[in-house]
Amino acid sequence: MIAWLFRNRETGGWTIAQWPNVALGIWLATLVVRKVLDPAGTAGDVVRWVGVAALVVWAIDEIVRGVNPWRRILGATVLAFTVVGLFAG
């Protein structure tokens, strides 16, 4: 079960985490901007929505192209929490 979950289908190695791709990098950058600069008003809204959009793109990419079931499950979980978070608050 563990091998099935974490084995990279492309390389045969074990993949739990990877270097961030562009979408996840954008999301991380928006987190830093929000924490360091704490933009208010329209600028804050734009930074927030760019971050949300980047995270959704990353999650969908992981669901569709994840190298193992763990990455696909991670993408689905992040997508679900992001969507619930949008509607909850």
Contact call for residues 71 and 19 (beta carbons, < 8 A): no
Residue 46 belongs to some domain of the structure: yes
Residue 18 belongs to some domain of the structure: no
- Whole-prediction pTM: 0.89
Lowest mean per-residue pLDDT among 7-11, 56-60, 73-77? 7-11
Residue 33 belongs to some domain of the structure: yes
Helix runs in 1-89, H state only: 2-6, 22-36, 41-65, 69-88
Residue 80, pLDDT score: 98
44-63 as b/e: b if 16+ CB within 10 A: eeebeeebbebbbbbbebbb
Residue 7 belongs to some domain of the structure: no
Residue 76 belongs to some domain of the structure: yes
Residue 53 belongs to some domain of the structure: yes
Domain count along the chain:
1
Residue 17 belongs to some domain of the structure: no
Residue 19, pLDDT score: 84
Give the model confidence (pLDDT) of 10-65 as tens digits: 999 999 988 889 999 999 999 999 999 999 999 999 999 999 999 999 999 999 99
CA-to-CA distance for 36 and 47, rounded, in angstroms? 12
Domain range for 83: 23-88
pLDDT of residue 89 exceeding 80, the answer is: no
Residue 79 belongs to some domain of the structure: yes
